[in-house]
Chain A
Amino acid sequence: MYRYDEFDRRFLEERVAQYRGQVARRLNGQLTEEEFRPLRLRNGLYLQLHAYMLRVSIPYGTLSAEQVRMLAHVARKYDRGYGHFTTRQNIQYNWIKLDETPDLLADLATVEMHGIQTSGNCIRNITSDPFAGVAIDEIEDPRPYCEIIRQWSTLHPEFSWLPRKFKIAVSAALQDRAAVHVHDIGLYLKRSEAGEVGFEVLVGGGLGRTPIVGKVLRDFIPVRHLLSYLEAILRVYNAYGRRDNIYKARIKILVQALGVEKMRDAVEAEWAAMDHTPLDLAEETVAAIVRQFAPPAYAAAGADDEAALAASVEADADFARWVRHNVFPHKQPGYAVVTISLKPLGRPPGDASAEQLDLIADLSETHGFSEVRVTHEQNLVLPDVRRGDLAALYRALAAAGLGASNIGLASDIIACPGLDYCSLANARSIPVAERLGEHLAAREEEIGPMKIKISGCINACGHHHVGHIGILGVDKNGEEFYQITVGGSADENAAIGGIVGKAVPSEGVNGAVDKLLDVYMRLREDGEELPATYRRVGAEPFKEAVYGAV
């Protein structure tokens, strides 16, 4: 993985010193809260319902064991002993004190971490495939390009005060595990016929109040020109994106208003007019970063590994279930990719305690190369586990409450923090997720792959629009109701779910979801996931199931 050099370290020290000064100016009254707000936001600090919340950046979801231990330390020293992983592959702490934040960020800086641009109207954390570098369906590791974009976008002097936040995702595999279609810019790595690495560029995807699937802006931009092309897009957006209404300010609204053809013309004209030379990536620059992501020293598969694994699967039904759902193929023979579920039944999705984080750091060393990934579905990944070690790993995880075997199933629910924490929320998300997960767990294997996503307000941090089943909390005269959508998808066939009818009260959610699942299971054809069934049969059977004849 990428390790900081002297430049990165010094830069981050300068950033911590700057922030320390900003907090001091806030505390001595030189800065009003209004003036301080945009500054703290750009270091990931929000003011929430009960306390400050700090969002720590995890670039493209990749962590070292040392960094995971630091996250545990932060949870213990500055929070209440736990942290919450988010749909941006970041981690949030919900009980932070303002005067402690400079020390907190200084602690993070010792392990090359920070909260830079995890909030504010700027280019946010670059997200990617949590299986990057180990996936069997990958064209090439996308992380070096994420790192190149991360560096370029860090404190960009021209694009730090955009109309609205700006999210870039990169994927390099056939299966899209990074929700590339619902980002402001989505990049799919591909090779030209001549073998040159580059990207298909999508623009204008997003969720929130106006969910839109991104559109292709350019079929291929060679890596060499990646940054200048991104600058052209950002410059067009900075000039023409709306600033009169924050709900109309994302680039998707600009693309919608202009149409993708005019957007393309504007970007291409800007790109043609600018001098690319300073931004063109030198081959050595790319190669040096690619080298940092070189595969680790994998061992040959043990002769008895497969037999031992088969025996453990045979002997232990719980382990067998975990292998079915949480273990994924690895491009290196003898290895597996393991997803650790942070969705135990009846617990807030995405939470991890300091003790669990310490354990996961240890396990990443025992069973891997000291690396952990964060998924946008709020789980963690150990990317390099020897197949012969899977049983031992499972026992260690299960003993710490990390043995949930539900990846990709109905109880693997994405949920935002909701009204329990968030000042924007209209309704609670976490208790709804907890109850629904517990309710569906008994039949989730029968249901099969199922993505349920819950947001506590229209800002859609829980990605409800792209859930196979999406649940959106709304406020009706002070009471929490939930609007249900069906048929959404965040993968390479991205789609926005359709609303099935009027919102239901909190206690009606489980029943309504049951009915939708019954329809899906009755109508699905071989191996069909819910979005495919929905595309084929339409919304009517689902509407009818929940609301009666229509």
Chain B
Amino acid sequence: MVLYKNGAVVTDPWRHLEDDEDLPQVGPVTISWKRWLSERGSIARDPAELGVRAPNTVTAAEIGADAHRFGLIALFFPNFGDGRAFSQARVLRSRFGFTGELRATGSVLRDLLQFMQRCGIDAFEVSPRAIEENWFAALSEFDLFYQPAADNRPWIARQRLGATP
């Protein structure tokens, strides 16, 4: 897989631990949501070095309550049509003020990228074919939007009240 963040393909600095792997002393790691639930009382780790992989069946409020403990939340898109993680992302950003990395994983396809970005996702785990097919151009396919989202970009109803497009 390829990781795209801040306008570039980057090396993933995070280690993604299996549930039976011990947490290393240092270094950024992610653990599963299930493991977080069972071990959160005993994990004392710098949020910059702790991430969680959340299934899309957990409510955003549940993740949001612990969001300050994480530097990364990986959201999961099981297939093209399952849009639950869009709501999770938007609520984590807009309601819980999560400022760490929100990473899209799973079925992360070109034509979803701008929707994901608008909902607050800032890192995309994609197939290598994304590079040869220049998927990331999709992030700027639209520069006008009809509604506010989690990306703090202007939207048309507000633009109409002020400046020209």
B142 lies within 8 A of A11 (CB): yes
Assess whether B95 is in contact with A285, with CB atoms less than 8 Å apart. no
For chain A, what secondary structure do more than half of its interface residues adopt (helix, strand, loop), or is it mixed? Answer: helix
When the two chains form the complex, which single residue of A38, A151, A158, A239 contacts B157, counting CB atoms closer than 8 Å?
A151
Q: Which of A419-467 contact B (CB under 8 A)?
A: none
B residues 100-152 near A (Cβ < 8 Å) are 109, 111-112, 114-116, 118-119, 133, 141-149
Across the interface, do B83 and A162 meet the contact criterion of CB distance under 8 Å? yes
Given contacts A14-B141, A18-B141, A38-B81, contact A278 B148 (CB under 8 A): yes
Do B111 and A39 touch (CB < 8 A)? Answer: yes
**Contact: A285 with B94, CB < 8 Å?**
no
The answer, among B84, B115, B149, B160, for a CB contact under 8 Å with A238, is B84
Residues of A within 8 A of B157 (CB): 151, 281-282, 285
> How far is the CB of B155 from the nearest CB of chain A, in Å?
8
Docked Cα-Cα span, A152 to B116, in Å, equals: 17
- Determine which of B81, B86, B111, B161 lies in contact with A157 in the assembled complex, contact meaning CB atoms within 8 Å: B86
**Residues of chain A lying within 8 A (CB to CB) of residue B59:** 239
- B146 x A155 contact (CB < 8 A): yes
Give chain B's interface residue range (CB within 8 Å of chain A): 35 or more
User: Is A316 close to B, CB under 8 A?
Assistant: no
- Given the complex, which residues of B lie within 8 Å of A278, measured CB to CB? 148
Looking at the assembled complex, report how far the CB atom of B108 sits from the nearest CB atom of chain A, in whole angstroms. Answer: 13
Chain B residue contacts of A281, Cβ below 8 A: 157
A239–B61 CA distance with the chains assembled, in angstroms: 11
Residues of A within 8 A of B142 (CB): 11, 14-15, 18, 155
A193 on interface, CB distance cutoff 8 Å: no
Select which of B84, B90, B95 is within 8 A of A273 by beta carbon. Answer: B95
Number of chain A residues whose Cβ lies closer than 8 Å to a Cβ of chain B: 44
Contact B160 A158 (CB under 8 A): no
Name the residue on A nearest B115 (C-beta).
A157
A7 and B165 contacting across the interface, CB-CB below 8 Å: yes
Cβ of A127 under 8 Å from chain B:
no
In the complex, what residue of chain A is closest to B164 when comparing beta carbons?
A6
B146 & A152 in contact (Cβ 8 Å cutoff): yes
In the complex, whether A293 has a CB less than 8 A from a CB of chain B is: no
B160→A38 contact, CB < 8 A: no
Cβ–Cβ contact A243 & B160, under 8 A: no
- CB of A35 within 8 A of CB of B119, answer no
Give every chain B residue within 8 A of A282 (Cβ-Cβ). Answer: 157, 161
Task: List residues of B (48-74) whose CB comes within 8 Å of A's CBs.
Answer: 59-61
B65 CB → nearest A CB, Å: 12
Q: Which residues of B contact A510 (CB under 8 A)?
A: none
Instruction: Report whether B83 and A159 are in contact in the complex, using a CB–CB cutoff of 8 Å.
Output: yes
Known: A238-B87, A275-B94. A7 touches B159 (CB 8 A): yes
Q: Is the CB of A288 within 8 A of B160?
A: yes
Q: Is A191 an interface residue (CB 8 A)?
A: no
**Minimum CB distance partner of B86 in chain A:** A158
| Contact across chains for B146 and A151 when beta carbons are under 8 A apart | yes
- Residue picked from A5, A30, A35, A157, most chain B C-beta under 10 Å: A157
Residues of B close to A356: CB separation below 8 A? none
Closest beta carbon of chain B to A527's beta carbon, Å: 46
Q: B118's closest neighbor in chain A, by CB?
A: A157
How many Å lie between the Cα of A178 and that of B59 in the bound state?
35
Q: Are B87 and A158 in contact (CB under 8 A)?
A: yes
Q: Is A22 an interface residue (CB 8 A)?
A: yes
Q: What is the bound-complex CA distance between A151 and B148, given in angstroms?
A: 11
Contacts of A526 in B (CB 8 A): none
- Residue contact B141 to A157, C-beta cutoff 8 Å: no
Contact for B143 among A14, A30, A235, CB less than 8 A = A14
Residues of B within 8 A of A285 (CB): 157, 160-161
CA A30 to CA B91, docked complex, whole Å = 33
Does A64 make an interface contact (CB < 8 A)? Answer: no
Query: In this complex, what residue of A is CB-closest to B107?
Result: A35
- Assess the B115–A7 pair: CB atoms within 8 A: no
Assess the B80–A157 pair: CB atoms within 8 A: no
B-facing residues in A70-100 (Cβ within 8 Å): none
Q: Which of B81, B133, B160 has a CB less than 8 Å from the CB of A121?
A: B81
Q: Any chain A CB within 8 A of the CB of B18?
A: no
Q: How far is the CB of B163 from chain A (nearest CB, A)?
A: 11
Q: Is A274 among interface residues, defined by CB-CB distance under 8 A?
A: yes
> From residue B50, how far is it (CB to closest CB) to chain A in Å?
25
Decide if A332 is an interface residue (CB 8 Å cutoff).
no
Give the one of B60, B144, B164 with max A CB within 10 A. Answer: B144
CA distance in complex: A239, B59 (Å): 7
Cβ of A304 within 8 Å of any chain B Cβ, yes or no, is no
Least CB separation from A122: chain B residue: B83
Neighbour of A158 across the interface among B80, B81, B149, B156, CB < 8 A: B149
Whether the Cβ atoms of B160 and A161 lie closer than 8 Å is no
**A282 vs B157: C-alpha distance when bound (angstroms):** 9
Distance of A247 from chain B, by nearest CB (Å):
15
| In the assembled complex, B12 has its CB within 8 A of some CB on chain A | no
Contact B87 A11 (CB under 8 A): no
CB distance from B94 to the nearest CB of A (A): 7
Within 8 Å CB of B87, what residues of A? 158, 235, 238-239
Contact of B82 with A by CB under 8 A: yes
**A161 B159 Cβ-Cβ under 8 A:** no
Q: How far is the CB of A147 from chain B (nearest CB, A)?
A: 11
A157 touches B119 (CB 8 A): yes
Q: Which chain A positions have C-beta within 8 A of B116?
A: 157
A314 CB–B CB distance under 8 Å: no
Provided the pairs A10-B144, A14-B144, A238-B86 are in contact, do residues A158 and B119 lie with their beta carbons within 8 angstroms? yes
B141 to chain A, nearest CB (A): 5
Q: Roughly how many angstroms separate A304 CA and B105 CA in the complex, as a whole number?
A: 73
Q: Does A160 contact B (CB under 8 A)?
A: yes
* Complex CA distance for A159 and B81, rounded to whole angstroms: 11
Measured CA separation A468–B165 after assembly (Å): 50
* Separation of A278 and B159 alpha carbons in the complex (Å): 13
What are the interface flags for A163-174 relative to B under an 8 Å C-beta threshold, 1 for contact and 0 otherwise?
Answer: 000000000000
Report 9 cross-chain contacts, Cβ distance below 8 Å, ordered by A residue. A5-B160, A35-B80, A153-B147, A155-B142, A157-B118, A157-B145, A239-B87, A243-B82, A282-B157
| 7 tightest Cβ-Cβ pairs between the two chains A and B | A161-B83, A157-B118, A278-B148, A157-B115, A11-B144, A151-B146, A7-B156
